[in-house]
Structures are given as C-alpha cells and as structure tokens.
Amino acid sequence: MSKLLKVTLLLALAVGSFGAYRYVAARGTQSTKRQVQVPPPSFNVKISDVLSTRHVLEGTYNNTSSYESSVSAGTWTSLDTPLTVACPGTTGTCTIQLDGWVESGDGTSTNNQNKLCLYVDGVADTSNCEWYNGETPSDESWNITSVQQTVSEVAHGNHTVQTYYWSADGAYLDYYSTTYRVYKP
C-alpha cells in the first residue's frame, strides 16, 4: 500500500509542478507596460422614453381538424368553423391574433401560391391577406402553408373569427390548425 501511496504523491507533485510552471510562464509573457483601455464603440442609438404597450392574454381558442377536400382556384374558402371569441371589459379594445397552418398537396401545377387570411366578424384583415404564405408542390407531394396575423383595436364584446384559404390553381387540403388568441392592452 505504501508503494501505491508514493506513486500517487509523486503524480500529484508532478501535476502541481506543471500547473505552477504554466501559471508562471503565462504571467511572464504579459507586458509590464500599462495596457490602454479602449472604450466600446458608440452607435448613437436613440432609445425612446415611451414604453411599449403591454398586452395581457385573455383567451386562447383552438380549432384543429381534417379538411380532406379540394378547393377551387382563385376563391377564398373557409378553412375552419367560425368561433366566437370574447374581447373582455366594458370599454377599450383588444387584439386578436391568428396562428394557423394547413397542409395542401396532390397538385401538379407549378407556382401554385397559397394565402391564409383572418376574418373577424366576416371581414377580412385586408392589410395582411394579400401576401402569399406558401405554395402547393407540383410533384403531388404535400406542403404546409402557415401564417401569423394580428387585428388590433377590436371593440370589446363577442366577435366571430374564422380563417380562409386561397390557392392560385386550387388544391387538395388535408389537416389544418388555427389558434386564436385575444389580448387586452
């Protein structure tokens, strides 16, 4: 046992000596001159004193199912069933947000662009509905079209929300999911 102890102590001494040597060597390579501190660059970014509006989540509404049908070319088609959401309170407004996706496929036409659009009380959010969100593949495979849209300054009370789908050349739709969130500023 004493032989094992001697070997262990010798190994510990060697490791300690090597560590001390490396520490002294590293300190010895540093310059004895005083190092000049260089200030970080200034980007002159003006930060507003006005705080952002904090929104509180008031409700989440999910609508997920299987569509399993074709939609016509160039026609807005309802994707999900209408849901009634509540904008709480007796005054003020709220914000309604859509997170939605739909699976489209079995297409053969090229450049078959798709759009998803949030409708609140039967009215399209036209500021966001003109943008393409995806494309149905031309090789009969499947693809996901997804979107996140927000409508602000919605009056308090109950409102109907629904997501509509548009395809340039028509498409076969399978699964979809729409999640609506109501926020109060």
User: Could you report the per-residue pLDDT of 5-21, keeping only the tens digit for each?
Assistant: 676 766 666 666 666 66
By the 8 A CB rule, do 180 and 58 touch? no
Does position 126 have pLDDT exceeding 80, yes or no? no
Confidence of residue 42 (pLDDT cuts 50, 70, 90): confident
- pTM, two decimals, is 0.70
Distance from the Cα of residue 64 to its chain's centroid: 19
Nearest C-alpha neighbor of 87 from the set 65, 115, 58: 58
Q: What is the pLDDT of residue 49?
A: 74
What percent of the chain lies above the pLDDT cut of 70?
83
**30 pLDDT higher than 60:** no
pLDDT in tens, 58-113: 999 999 999 999 999 999 999 999 999 999 988 999 999 999 999 999 888 899 99
Residue 118 predicted with pLDDT over 80 = yes
Please classify residue 83 by burial: count the beta carbons closer than 10 Å to its beta carbon, then call 0-12 exposed, 13-18 middle and 19+ buried.
middle
Q: How confident is the model at residue 34 (pLDDT cuts 50, 70, 90)?
A: low
**What whole-number distance in Å separates Cα of residue 98 and Cα of residue 93?**
17
The first and second tokens of residue 94, run together, are 């709220």
Alpha-carbon separation of residue 33 from 22, 24, 29, 40, 86 (angstroms): 21, 18, 12, 21, 69
The answer to whether the Cα torsion of 144, 104, 132, 56 is positive or negative is negative
Angle at 124 between CA 119 and CA 129, to 5 degrees: 105
Given a cut of 60, whether residue 29 has pLDDT beyond it is no
pLDDT of residue 53: 80
Is the CB of residue 136 less than 8 Å from the CB of residue 110?
Answer: no
pLDDT at 55: 86
Q: Which domains does the chain have, with CATH numbers?
A: 56-184 (2.60.120)
Highest mean pLDDT among 21-30, 39-48, 128-137: 128-137
Cα separation, 102 vs 96, in Å, equals 19
What's the whole-number average pLDDT of the chain? Answer: 86
In angstroms, the CA 169 to CA 114 distance is 9
Give the model's pLDDT for residue 20.
64
Using CB atoms within 10 A of its CB, is residue 147 exposed (0-12), middle (13-18) or buried (19+)?
A: buried
* Confidence bin at 41 (pLDDT 50/70/90): confident
Q: Is 125 helix (H, G, I), strand (E, B) or coil?
A: coil
